[in-house]
Structure 1
Amino acid sequence: MAISNGGLILLKEMREQLPPSEQKIADYILLHPEQVATMTVSELGELSLTSGAAVTRLCKSLNLKGFQELKLRIIGDLGRKIELTNRDIKPNEPVSITIQKVTDLAVQTLRETAELIDSKQLEMAVDAIVNAKNIHFFGVGASGISAIDAQQKFLRINKPSTASTDLHMGATIIANATKDDVVFGISFSGSTFEVEKIIELANEKGAKTISLTKYGQTPISQLSSIQLHTSPNREANFRSGATSSRLAQLHVMDILFMSVASTQYDTTIHYLDETREAIESIQNQQNLKKKN
């Protein structure tokens, strides 16, 4: 099913990167989404004091097929009364309220991430991984958790993978990469120095590069041949472990893994069965050793 939401999120996140005329249109849409949902290109251009051509350029800047797609996404947002703000915790808040706030933010982040995934870029990433000789995941801090999780997933289906969170170790690995390898850089901000350097080195070695960053053009995404994105949702002030961004990254990795598995269904099932049996055998041996 095609995504039919996320128009307001796209506009809110991309606004600062747009030319002045397109910013004016974005501001008008964010202030009057209900009215815009029924407008034509010319009407929006006139009411935003720009032009129909500027509206068309805005849609291209948002990587949308046209104004009709933008309107459909906005209508979808209005239909679910999208919330564009994060809800932070307060001093001495009841745990029941904290549970609700953290859960609501997690659900919002996952939903927005699904809406912002570019299907074509995802298909390119799937194809690159299916045909890769080796996959090298790299991230630092909380993004390193996502890199390690991804490596664990793909190793289980017999895709040779590495995961590193240290620039020196990562550089050592990428120095031996070839054009048959995929280097996957993960950074929520899209400007993490270590990840940027790893992607630059991978490009020099001729490896295929994939980035996973927050939505929008960032230094890391611009360096990568394939760009995947998560929700741009800002973390709350108490962002232990980068909760929202980490969840979004793991969500995209799950989608990517399942998409790869789907293209190699029978083979994937075979490898998963093999790895499951190997782990169960080891666990049984450990249990026997404990009993003895």
Structure 2
Amino acid sequence: MPGAIRTIQRGGSRFYISPETAEKVPGVTSVISMLPKPFLVHWAARMTAEAAVANLPAVASIAERDEAGAVDYLRHAHSRYTRLRATVGSQAHDLFERMIRGEAIGRVHPDLEPYRAAFAEFLDVVRPELVRAEDVAWSDTHGYAGSFDAILRVRLGEDGKLSEGGTPHLLMVDWKTSKSTYSDVALQMSAYSHADRIISPQGESEPMPAFDGAAVLHITPEGWAFKPVRVDEEIFRVFLTLRRVFEWDRELSKRVIGRPIAESVRRLVTGTQRRK
């Protein structure tokens, strides 16, 4: 029987290791990171400026003793914010999985309570049927893998809206706790939906089912929204392009320039210079 699936970090990217063959493939989010995001430069600069303005006395005090330390404090402002948001997001995802599986949830940390309440309302309004949660989508065909949040069955009418008497639709679903829902979630979910198979935490494998669509549940402390997401062939082709860019960036680009065919003559070192 196959063992549990493993992941490793290499060069800032996550790779999944096949429990059957030990094959290493890149994670979906690492592939999507190849998408250009020039706005992040301006965002990081704004975070640095805001940290400086909000902490002027502290930064000045640090700079008096250690200028390099003050610079480090400011230049890592965006990283501290990202880590904080990632921690909240991870804790919320853990909470959502427990709730969708029917686990009784008691009191949670005040920071998580708005997310708990919003997810509870989603379950009450949408009444989804859980099919799978937190398993790995694996593509043998294209060489990638990724952990998806949930596969749900939801009753929808012909207009695509919730309907108690509607037709059950099998949806690939992702939870998002970010400030907004971003378009690259479609790339992420199309990759999961078009994978060849599902691998359980124990390493057991079964074919990926055919989906009727996909949706993202966007939850913030202010509320929630359940939105349809395109995961068709056109979107999937964009993801596959990024998969090729990932291969170029991590592998092929390192093998395209060879040793010099010819080069300048190195400057002669005289005997006098060697004796000095």
Regarding TM over 0.5, the answer is no
- Higher-Rg structure is 2
Structure having the higher helix fraction is 1
Q: TM-score range by the shorter chain?
A: under 0.3
Q: Which has the higher strand share?
A: 2
**TM-score normalised per structure 1:** 0.22
